[in-house]
Amino acid sequence: MGGIGIWQLVIVLLIVFLLFGTKRLKGLGSDVGEAIQGFRKSMGGDSDASTAAAPQQVQQEPLTRSPTPQPHADRQA
């Protein structure tokens, strides 16, 4: 007793959707996400946002390259 059951939670969510609508709830969710991200950044634990905001790395050439043939100008036939 005293706990919230699944049916009570469904009814509460249904009432919230009817009162606010999906567009307003979507905007509210994004605002809350930005606020949490800003809080993490200010606290110094910005692990998720730093990977998303990091610039893309430039692809490096492989370490093992096949040798390019050098033209031999001093060859005599």
Token reading at 36: 């949490």
Residue 3: pLDDT above 70? yes
- Which alpha helices (H) appear in the chain, and where do they start and end? 6-20, 22-43, 47-53
Averaged pLDDT score across all residues of the chain: 74
Q: Give the pLDDT confidence of 55-68 residue by residue, as tens digits.
A: 555 566 556 655 66
The reported pTM is 0.37
Given a cut of 60, whether residue 54 has pLDDT beyond it is: no
Task: Note the pLDDT of residue 4.
Answer: 80
